[in-house]
Amino acid sequence: MTYHIPVLVLAASVAATAAWANEEPDPAAAEEAVTMETDKLVAGRRAGFWMSAGLFGSMNGVIKSGGEVKGLAFAARTLNGWATTMPGLFPEGSVNDRSNALPAVWDDREGFLATAKLYQERTAKLAELAAAGDQEGFATQWTVVRQTCSTCHDTYRKKRD
Ligand code: HEC
């Protein structure tokens, strides 16, 4: 089975190239969809989750060792970029044996998207606090983001052993 999903990265790069060339972006090109097999989509999605977890976990290392959070601004912005694009990687029925997504991702679409929105907003704030060099604020917000991971996993991801 294959899915047609809009690829934000593609659209963004089309827009960026057009801006660089000082031309109007071609809306048809930006809306073009690619076709992706379920197995590849799930593998890519899961790799993204693992990378985000690695990024997020390493932030905690900096917090614990009392390092400068200002240096985490790029990482936090990147996490926010993932939070923004991640819900688009769950087109209807995109599951296989390797996926840990629960049917609730699609059955309770509104709830899933609302939690993803919270994730996006909270990581945006995390990035702002990092850029501002707010050590204490960043540490507190990191915990808030972690709660968002758990909130979503409790309802939308299979339990892990
Ligand atoms: C809006 C919901 C949502 C949020 C927020 C979210 N996740 Fe997930 N996460 C999922 C779903 C659903 C999967 C399963 C995806 C699949 O296997 O198809 C998943 C999978 C993962 C995986 C892969 C391992 C596994 O057991 O499937 C890791 C690691 C992970 N998430 C970490 C995180 C971390 C860390 C955060 C927060 C910084 C986070 N996630 C935020 C929904 C979410």
Burial of 118 (0-12, 13-18, 19+ CB in 10 A): middle
CATH of 37-156, one of 3.40.50.2300, 2.40.50.140, 1.20.120.10, 3.50.20.10: 1.20.120.10
From residue 100, give the alpha-carbon distance in Å to each of 14, 154, 161.
Answer: 33, 12, 12
Q: Using one digit for the tens of pLDDT, what is the confidence trace for 10-69?
A: 444 444 444 445 566 565 665 566 678 999 999 999 999 999 999 999 999 999 999 999
Q: Is the CB of 45 under 6 A from ligand 1?
A: yes
Out of 95, 152, 155, 159, give the residue to mutate to test ligand 1, the one with the largest number of ligand atoms within 8 Å of its CB: 152
The protein residue whose alpha carbon is closest to atom 22 in ligand 1 is 49
pLDDT of residue 19: 47
Q: Using one digit for the tens of pLDDT, what is the confidence trace for 85-111?
A: 999 999 998 999 999 999 999 999 999
Domain ranges of the chain: 37-156
Out of 56, 112, 153, 155, give the residue to mutate to test ligand 1, the one with the largest number of ligand atoms within 8 Å of its CB: 153
Q: What is the pTM of this model?
A: 0.84
**Atom nearest to 119 CA in ligand 1:** 5
C-alpha 57/C-alpha 128 separation (Å) is: 18
